[in-house]
Amino acid sequence: MRYLFAALLLLVTALSQGKEVAFTFDDAPRKATGYFDGPTRAKTLLQVLETHEIPQVAFFANTSNLTGERLERLRRYGDAGHIIANHSHTHPNFNTQELQAYIDDVNEADQILRDFPTFKPWFRFPFLREGNTAAKRNGMRKFLDEHGYINAYITLNNYDWYIESLFQEAVAEGKRVDLDRLRRFYLDVMIAGIEYYDQMAIQHIGRSPKHILLMHEMDISALFVGDLADALRNRGWSIISPEEAYTDDIASYRTPSVLKYNAGRIGEIAYDKGQKTDLWHETLNEGYLRARFTAEVLTPETAPAGSRVKTPRAE
Ligand SMILES: [Zn+2]
């Protein structure tokens, strides 16, 4: 009886422990010439993080266009206390680039980013591609180890960058975009992906790890990251710092597999445990997102009153 009670207590403790996630933004400072200009994006994003009590996120920077307003924008993120880390100089595709050229590119970004006061030697692989041959994969592991770097993996993958491109395309074409609809669409897609990879983690490692959410430094992130934090907290999640997230045991996991495409750390573990399909959630698909964006977000052209024809909709 005593053992049963202890087991029950353990179970209740495990269930009541909230899920945890850290927020990270890649490709900073990304081009900003659409809905927001660069300074407005930075100001909006920083304000939202502050008002939603998210004290620290990480920005993974590309340095090849780091001048003028874009340099200023990255400095603002660092000055606000957020981590600045390495996402390479030119965002190369490791599947098509040789190891030494790839290392040179990462080194170049390192030289530029080290001056930022909140710099961390964390490397986020562009496209999450970690080497399509054992030699390249091992070469980058050795390089990172020797230079005091960690592989700043993600656990929660998504195509937020594609939602942004659909949004910016609509803005550029002068279409009316209802921001409330866009918010609902964004939250629905992001949460579906987050819950999918969390379930995959529970299935393969038996627990919900300290997660790292992939996002990008873009207008929809600035617009909706606070709503995303609210929605996650309402579902029992808490937002933690990236530093805390990378203390999870899965941080030391090194896949024995050579993967041309990588769905993230949970996807790697699942693959190594025998799951060979469905490593990418259905929302990680351009056609899927475009169809839903068109149906759910774009405001239909306003027809003169009374002339609208109600068409039956197939469910
Ligand atoms: Zn990137």
pLDDT in tens, 216-269: 999 999 999 999 999 999 999 999 999 999 999 999 999 999 999 999 999 999
Q: Is the pLDDT of residue 298 over 70?
A: yes
pLDDT of residue 310: 44
- How many angstroms separate the alpha carbon of residue 299 from the centre of ligand 1? 30
- How many angstroms separate the alpha carbon of residue 249 from the centre of ligand 1? 25
Report pTM. 0.91
- How many angstroms separate the alpha carbon of residue 266 from the centre of ligand 1? 19
| C-alpha 158 chain-centroid distance | 7
| One-letter identity of residue 49 | L
- How many angstroms separate the alpha carbon of residue 8 from the centre of ligand 1? 44
pLDDT of residue 175: 93
Q: Measured between alpha carbons, how far is 246 from 90 in angstroms, rounded to an integer?
A: 25
pLDDT of residue 227: 98
State the pairing for strand pair 83-86/119-123: parallel
pLDDT of residue 232: 98
- How many angstroms separate the alpha carbon of residue 159 from the centre of ligand 1? 11
Calculate the alpha carbon distances from 119 to 69, 90, 98, 230 in Å: 19, 18, 27, 28
Q: Which helix (H) or strand (E) holds 213?
A: strand 210-216
- How many angstroms separate the alpha carbon of residue 177 from the centre of ligand 1? 26
The second-level CATH assignment, the architecture, of 19-296 is: Alpha-Beta Barrel (3.20)
* Helix residue ranges, H only, 173-218: 179-205
Which token pair is 162?
């594609």
> Could you tell me which of 50, 104, 110 has the C-alpha nearest to residue 77?
50
Contact 193, 284 (CB under 8 A): yes
